[in-house]
Structure 1
């Protein structure tokens, strides 16, 4: 077996000069100019979410649509939309539910299931957390406002 003789310790020079390298890097670090999803990625993800609000939406599938890894997609999605993917999905589901509540007399349970919530209790909790009222309170208020607007407009 051959013996290797080390006469000096090269690592000590690196350690001794490391603070200078950190303070004065040889390559300037530039901030990234590109943040968030590209327009085509954002459009594909939004279409995916809006196209299947009643189904099981996954971040993995959304990331595949954007051609990114799930973890990288999560960071870029938040930079683009200002919320996490799951929060975005919940917001879109609530918006869809509100639209259904105004346009039809469908029961809240059926609306909850149509919008991808597991049951009416889950729908009510999520709705209350985002709007500050229960779905039935919101529906009554929206109907009253709608009728008042029609009455005012007809006078």
Structure 2
């Protein structure tokens, strides 16, 4: 018994170019509608604003649990040497990706954030009148008094000694 072969069975099926162009958006829409099968794309969207979700914007920056873990790491070892790679490991990200996401979350780089936290701690020690500037510098994780003075001046606009005198006079508050 022999079956009659159709002419289309002997040559490969070829879609006309116009048919392919109409197929692609349809397939993409079908994939987009199924993209949230696991429910994880909803968690990465920006905030809880429904309009932001409707626009399809993605989460910008670190997730809240990552922010907490990194802040805890920085605050716990403020007097020691901070490492971007260790902070990235706490957030379970690669150092490069962590650096970009950290800057999106905090608006500054990781090293600037650490410096600001150290200066903030130093301001508390300066107001308390505890010790010499070199002791405060070492207690806050600066390598020496010159590094402390330079960083403090860049962030606060004056030297630590001047800031201490003005705080004692009541011009500043910690």
What residue is the counterpart of 2:97 in the other structure? 72
The RMSD of aligned alpha carbons is 2.4
Tell me the distance in 1 between the aligned counterparts of 2:144 and 2:124: 18
* Residue range with higher mean Cα deviation, 30-39 or 51-60: 30-39
Tell me the distance in 1 between the aligned counterparts of 2:125 and 2:98: 31
Tell me the distance in 2 between the aligned counterparts of 1:36 and 1:45: 13
TM-score by length of 1: 0.74
Counterpart among 32, 50, 54 of residue 75 in structure 2? 50
- CA displacement, residues 50-109 of structure 1 (integer Å, 9 cap, x when unaligned): 111110010000000000000000010011000000000000000000001111331110
What residue is the counterpart of 1:140 in the other structure? 165
TM-score by length of 2: 0.66
Tell me the distance in 2 between the aligned counterparts of 1:68 and 1:39: 14
Displacement after TM superposition at 1:128 (Å): 0.5
Tell me the distance in 2 between the aligned counterparts of 1:53 and 1:78: 19
**2:141 matched to 1:116?**
yes
What residue is the counterpart of 2:87 in the other structure? 62
Task: Indicate the structure whose relative CO is greater, using CA pairs within 8 Å and at least 6 residues apart.
Answer: 1
More helix per residue: 1
User: How many positions carry a matched residue from both structures?
Assistant: 126
Tell me the distance in 1 between the aligned counterparts of 2:94 and 2:56: 21
Tell me the distance in 2 between the aligned counterparts of 1:97 and 1:106: 11
Tell me the distance in 2 between the aligned counterparts of 1:31 and 1:122: 45
Question: Larger C-alpha radius of gyration, 1 or 2?
Answer: 2
